[in-house]
Amino acid sequence: HTPIPTATTTVIAMPTLTLEPATATPTMTAVSVTISETGGVSEVTLDRLQIAFALPPDAVNESIRLTIEVADSPPATNGFQVLNQIFTINAVTGNGAPVTQFAKPFTLTIRYNDTAVQGLDEHQLALHYWHETQQVWIAIPTTVDADNNLLTATLDHLTTFAVLQTKTDNPQWLFLPMV
């Protein structure tokens, strides 16, 4: 078992994100940070993605340890193209109890580099989460800032995530009955 690098974040205000332009150099495959109940922003680099996790005050009632890691056995993407890595976000309290829901939504911002999106339509990218029960990827409303290579989504739970784009050569059809 490889030790997970750690950092502690105790920011009280919700500062502006300071993500630097992403590079193509792979880095860590797992990182953990501590966020207090007063909230704050934690920024991590995970493999080829830079991820900022912004937790508002009172979203949790005690400090949590947040772990973001590349998914070991990611689910199939079934016709979607993946931007970089599929990743999982987990959190536990100080006594090790899992945290999966939050009292207030949090923001996840992902910075990518231009090389990662070659051949993709950046405006068609969206953060998705893996729905364990239904065994499908569910799109999350995502703001795309293609000029600054940023994707932003507001979430209320933790699970496995991926930035996906539907393949343009594999259209999805919806047939409606004639009335």
Q: What is the pTM of this model?
A: 0.74
The pair of three-digit structure tokens given for residue 157, joined into one six-digit string: 């739970």
Residues 6+ apart with CB under 8 A from 100: 91, 157, 158, 159
Cα–Cα distance between 70 and 86 in angstroms, integer?
Answer: 6
Q: Which residue has the higher pLDDT, 161 or 176?
A: 161
Q: Hey, what amino acid is at 163?
A: V
| Cβ-proximal residues to 37 (8 Å cutoff; 6+ apart), any chain | 57, 58, 59, 60, 61, 62, 63
pLDDT band at 3 (very low <50, low <70, confident <90, very high): very low
Q: What is the pLDDT of residues 137-164, one digit of tens each?
A: 999 999 999 999 999 999 999 999 989 8
**Average pLDDT of the residues of the chain:** 78
Spatial separation of the C-alpha atoms in residues 110 and 151, rounded to whole Å: 5
